[in-house]
């Protein structure tokens, strides 16, 4: 799923750029990122939204 992949890649790049983080900060960042990815994924579980997105021309 493209939006989820883009968010994950953005987070990965952000964590790579933050070289001074300790283990707790990295773990917290990953946990928050997983919650965000779950939230994005849940948006696409709504049938009406998926139907509308399928009809939209980009």
- Write down the pLDDT at residue 17: 77
- Write down the pLDDT at residue 4: 67
* Residue with token string 């049938």: 47
DSSP assignment of 21-58 equals --HHHHHHHHHHHHHHHHHHHHHTT-HHHHHHHHH---
Collect all residues with Cβ–Cβ distance below 8 Å to 17 and sequence separation of at least 6. none
Assess contact for 41 and 4: CB atoms under 8 A.
yes
Convert the pLDDT of each residue in 2-58 to its tens digit: 666 777 788 778 777 777 778 888 788 888 888 888 887 787 778 887 788 778 766
Assess contact for 15 and 29: CB atoms under 8 A.
yes
């Amino acid at each position: 799923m493209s939006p989820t992949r883009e968010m994950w890649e953005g987070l990965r790049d952000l964590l790579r750029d933050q070289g001074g983080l300790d283990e707790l900060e990295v773990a917290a960042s990953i946990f928050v990122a997983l919650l965000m990815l779950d939230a994005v994924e849940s948006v696409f579980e709504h049938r009406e939204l998926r139907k509308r997105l399928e009809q939209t021309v980009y």
